Amino acid sequence: MYNIDNFLFSKKEMYLLEHNKQGRSIELAQKSHLFRRKKIYENMHLIDERMFAGGGFFPQLQPYNDNVDFELVSFVDRKKHSGTNEAVHFFLDDYRFRYAVWSNLEKTTESIFRFDYVFTPDFSLWVDLPTEYFNIMNIFRTRYVGAYWQQCGLNVIPTVSWGNANSFHYAFCGLPQHSVLAVCGVGNKHCPASLELWKYAIKQIDKELLPTMIIVFGEEVEIPGINAPIKFVSDYISTHFRK
């Protein structure tokens, strides 16, 4: 049996060979219009069985353990940057990236392909909704997009999100152990309850996922009892407006 990782071309090179400038599959473009309409619903045409390793309901991300000394670039500012030693992040309001990342995934993938690193999309999870459906769907979406980008050969840093304490039974599904992980830490200091939940989540991440490093996008916070090293990256609001 052939090992796809030992092919002559890298995953990135294969992506460029198999997709056009809009990020669309050249093979799929040759199919009938009716076939394409059925397949592209909710990105089902991009599903690869390897994305669901272990037979889980959520795509399984592979660990990332490489360079972390890169510059962070907001998704909305990506066109202003070359991508060299830079990582695209999505620690933004969802409306700034949700349509582009989920409903127009192929074109968005092409637009960030030059970046050396990319974080998985940080879709919001809610603490006060009467149903967990939306949170579970957003967990699925961020894992799906990250797994697809890994299949395309991008260096993907998994991000971790959660809602209230009840969300921890699914919030970590599909995340790798022994990997660099990233979380958003913006604004936690200004709400004691939110800060306590956030610290609890970091401790659970450290305990269950055994990360090799946790990258925190936001203000520096003391979290005692954590085994993994933590790297804080200042966000724009905290740096320029909050004291």
What is the predicted pLDDT for the residue at 38?
65
**What is the domain count for the chain?**
1
Q: Is 3 a member of any domain?
A: no
* Alpha helix positions (H), 128-186: 133-151
Dump pLDDT digits (tens) for 46-89: 888 778 876 678 999 999 999 999 999 999 999 999 999 999 99
The CA–CA distances, whole Å, from 88 to 79, 80, 118 equal 11, 12, 5
Q: Is 174 a member of any domain?
A: yes
**Which residue, among 227, 232, 176, 173, has the nearest Cα to 203 in the 3D structure?**
227
Chain-centroid distance, C-alpha 8: 28
Rounded to the nearest integer, the mean pLDDT of the chain is 88
Q: Is 1 a member of any domain?
A: no
What is the predicted pLDDT for the residue at 240?
37
Q: Is 20 a member of any domain?
A: yes
Q: How many CA atoms lie within 13 A of 121 on its CB side?
A: 31
Q: Is 4 a member of any domain?
A: no
Local confidence band at 194 (pLDDT 50, 70, 90 cut-offs): confident
Q: Is 219 a member of any domain?
A: yes
Rounded to a whole number of angstroms, the distance between the first and last alpha carbons of the chain is 59
Least confident piece of the model among 28-42, 47-61, 161-175, 183-197 = 28-42
Amino acid letter for position 52: F
The mean pLDDT of 182-197, rounded to a whole number, is 86
Q: Is 2 a member of any domain?
A: no
Q: Is 117 a member of any domain?
A: yes
Beta bridge partners, 183, equal: 216
CA dihedral 62, 67, 72, 74 (to 10 degrees): -30
- Apex 45 CA angle, 96 and 175, nearest 5: 60
The mean pLDDT of 5-29, rounded to a whole number, is 79
Which domain does 140 fall in, by range?
Answer: 9-240
Dump pLDDT digits (tens) for 112-169: 999 999 999 999 999 888 889 999 999 999 999 999 999 999 999 999 999 988 899 9
The CA–CA distances, whole Å, from 132 to 91, 129, 183, 199, 233 equal 21, 7, 20, 22, 30
pTM listed for this prediction: 0.86
